[in-house]
Amino acid sequence: MSRLLSGNPLPRPEAAPASEERSAESALQRWQKLGFDPSRCPVRDVFDHVGNKWTALILMTLAAGPQRFSALHRAIPDISKRMLTQSLRDLERDGLIHRHVHPTKPPSVDYRLAPLGLSIIGPLDTLARWAEVNHPEIRDARARFDAQD
């Protein structure tokens, strides 16, 4: 238990810029080294809720402005209504979006980013750009792996 994560003289893969690597460690690994309760780890929580496919897609779609339920469904056709409803509830519960009901005769509903939701668009978009840029390489790697192994 004492040598669990203490002195770890493993060979580094490469001499990566120390500052970069250290900053990448810190956020998550402070938790790990200190043995904090994993169930309260923010990283787990956020990646589980906000980082999942549908949730991220919804948030990024809402970045263009408020959208009604069915507009969202049209923008993301491959989500089931069931999942769309549930994801929207989750996002609302977490304070990332607001559900706004217009009291028109046939009441209409729209969803819009709350300030908290707006603040995650940047990080999310950074990942999305990475995805766009590196997707070909991932597909290649996948093809190679499937072919030879």
Partner DNA sequence: GCTCAATGGTCTCATTTATATACCAGTCCT
Partner DNA sequence: AGGACTGGTATATAAATGAGACCATTGAGC
* Measured distance CA(32)–CA(148) in Å, rounded: 36
Q: Is residue 79 part of the contact set for DNA (CB under 7 A)?
A: yes
Is residue 109 a contact residue for a copy of itself (CB under 8 A)?
A: no
Least distance in Å: CB of 105 to a copy of itself? 19
Residue 81's binding partner out of a copy of itself, DNA, none, with CB under 5 to 8 Å set by partner kind: DNA
The string of DSSP codes covering 35-60 is T--GGG-HHHHHHHHTSSHHHHHHHH
Nearer to DNA, 31 or 69 (CB): 69
Which residues between 30 and 69 bind DNA (CB under 7 A)?
Answer: 52, 54, 68-69
Beta-carbon contacts of 90 under 8 Å, excluding residues fewer than 6 positions away, are 49, 55
